[in-house]
Amino acid sequence: MAIINMYAKCTNSYVVGFICTILLLRSVAECREVNGVLENLEYPAISCRKHSASLIDFGGVGDGKTSNTKAFQYAIGNLSHYGSDGGALLVVPPGKWLTGSFNLTSHFTLFLHRDTIILASQDESEWPELSVLPSYGRGRDAPDGRFSSLIFGTNLTDVVVTGYNGTIDGQGSYWWDKFHKGELKLTRPYMIEIMFSDHIQISNLTLINSPSWFVHPIYSSDIIIQGLTIAAPTDSPNTDGIDPDVCFILYISVFNYYYTLTILVENSTTNYSFSFSLTDSCTNTRIEDCNIVSGDDCIAVKSGWDEYGIKFGMPSQHIVIRRLTCVSPDSAMIALGSEMSGGIQDVRAENLTAIDTESAVRIKTAVGRGGYVKDIFVKGMNLNNMKYVFWITGSYGSHADNDFDPKALPDISGINYRDVIADYCNYTAKLEGIPNDPFTGICISNMSITNSDMKKLQWNCTDVEGVSSNVSPVPCELLSQKEEKKFDCPFPDEKLPIESVMLKTCSFKSV
């Protein structure tokens, strides 16, 4: 699909009465043909870069002992100057590169070779402190500040973190010990966090042993996460794989194209420019071909916590998840919540495999959360050795503080699951709504389970309403059975814009 940039040029410095000329420009691929093709490394990306440099050029030392925090900061600071001149790529060559937290920049690619290992420092002075996220109101491990993520970016556009399956090792054991001993004064760092940004790609990497969550895009949009291998011990605390969280940017739909609107405001002394991404959706996240083994949820879609999330008032929506494999004995393959107070809507998950996992798709919410979880579509699940196939929890608790509003009830509706094969699952479903706040529009079709323990109550449904068809074992009465032979729970036909984004083939000279 073509990508079109729209520029609106306005010639008045007052908001009222803009006279704008609008130009539509079909953007051209920015990749340059480079001579000496044989020396070039190719990789797929949302945008290619004109300039490239190696961490070694900036004093990096890949011996696993020397700190490279300054080298990363210096390199990225330097390369940020190429943002308006075709962008830049920073190669991290084979070796072991110890580093504390560093910040990304716009129009930038971080590239890890196959034998590259980035090692996260265990020296807390290498991790700056950030304030807590507004939609959470507090840190999850400690009420006040939090450590910056290992790889952090805020207020950016067009950022790629990729490679030939190189490794980022969070060396999380240091942080997990402190967590277990209750010694954390600040919330643990995440591995990769991107805030207030758009056009982000994180792909073809091996991520291991994060101190806490692995990948956390928040207040961001147009995100592609692809080909990640994520692993942490299954008893490590809060090592969620990928947590798409809260959108922020303003969107308008125009024929399903992506637009960037740049408004220039001129007067005789000053020129201002404002840029907005305009697409027909909010978060627009695509997660595909990932393998995750983790101590917590493989993927957790979130949108703010209790009164803080309600006040922030921004949902997570338009999220595509496909071809995911998950192992998580104590958590879910895909969790929706528990922080869902800004709302979660339009999640489409397809072709999912879970092995040795507590539950497949789990909704977690509670009185006081407010918000909603609606229009959830899941198609094609292959499950093996699970505690629950379907699990919805209306009494999750776990509040930010005691100031939550007991009248803030979540709206859970339009939850669709179909085409499920499950083997060795102890319970088919535990669907628990909230008294006087039933969870409605639950649909389950075409499901078969082998080797479940029929001595156990297979369906435990309370305060839910919905339908089922072609489901065995026989579902609870609250999911009334459709008589029609050919009844399938819905799954949207039309694609989200993020699904049509094609990656370009980029290349750079190997170092």
Ligand X SMILES: *[C@@H]1O[C@H](CO)[C@@H](O)[C@H](O)[C@H]1NC(C)=O
Given the rule CB under 6 A, which residues bind ligand X? 13, 43-44, 57-58, 73, 78, 81, 101-103, 128, 130, 148, 152, 154-155, 164-165, 196, 203-204, 206, 226-227, 229, 266-271, 289, 322-323, 350-351, 380, 385-387, 419, 421, 426, 432, 446, 457, 460, 462
Find the shortest distance in angstroms from Cβ 300 to ligand X.
20
Measured from the CB atom, the residue of 286 and 369 that comes closer to ligand X is 286
> What are the catalytic residues?
296
Measured from the CB atom, the residue of 266 and 465 that comes closer to ligand X is 266
Find the shortest distance in angstroms from Cβ 445 to ligand X.
8
Measured from the CB atom, the residue of 339 and 419 that comes closer to ligand X is 419
Round to whole Å and give the CA distance between 270 and 81.
22
Query: What letter would DSSP give residue 113?
Result: -
Question: What does each C-alpha distance from 475 to 30, 71, 467 come to in angstroms?
Answer: 54, 59, 9
3-state secondary structure of 159: strand
Find the shortest distance in angstroms from Cβ 182 to ligand X.
26
Q: What angle is formed at CA 43 by the lines to CA 37 and CA 47, rounded to 5 degrees?
A: 105
Measured from the CB atom, the residue of 360 and 409 that comes closer to ligand X is 360
- Point out the residue whose Cβ comes nearest to ligand X: 227
Round to whole Å and give the CA distance between 264 and 427.
59
Find the shortest distance in angstroms from Cβ 241 to ligand X.
14
Measured from the CB atom, the residue of 281 and 469 that comes closer to ligand X is 469
Residues in a beta bridge with 135? none
Find the shortest distance in angstroms from Cβ 81 to ligand X.
5
Measured from the CB atom, the residue of 108 and 152 that comes closer to ligand X is 152
Return the C-alpha torsion angle 396, 398, 400, 405, nearest 10.
Answer: 40
Round to whole Å and give the CA distance between 296 and 279.
32
Find the shortest distance in angstroms from Cβ 271 to ligand X.
4
Question: What does each C-alpha distance from 90 to 30, 112, 126, 152, 344 come to in angstroms?
Answer: 18, 9, 21, 15, 35
DSSP string, 429-461: EEEE-BTTB-EEEEEEEEEEEES--TTS-SEEE
Return the C-alpha torsion angle 57, 113, 320, 416, nearest 10.
Answer: -140
Round to whole Å and give the CA distance between 9 and 398.
49
Find the shortest distance in angstroms from Cβ 63 to ligand X.
20
Q: Evaluate whether 33 touches 508 at the Cβ level (below 8 Å).
A: no
Residues in a beta bridge with 161? 110, 202
Q: Evaluate whether 403 touches 424 at the Cβ level (below 8 Å).
A: no
Measured from the CB atom, the residue of 245 and 419 that comes closer to ligand X is 419
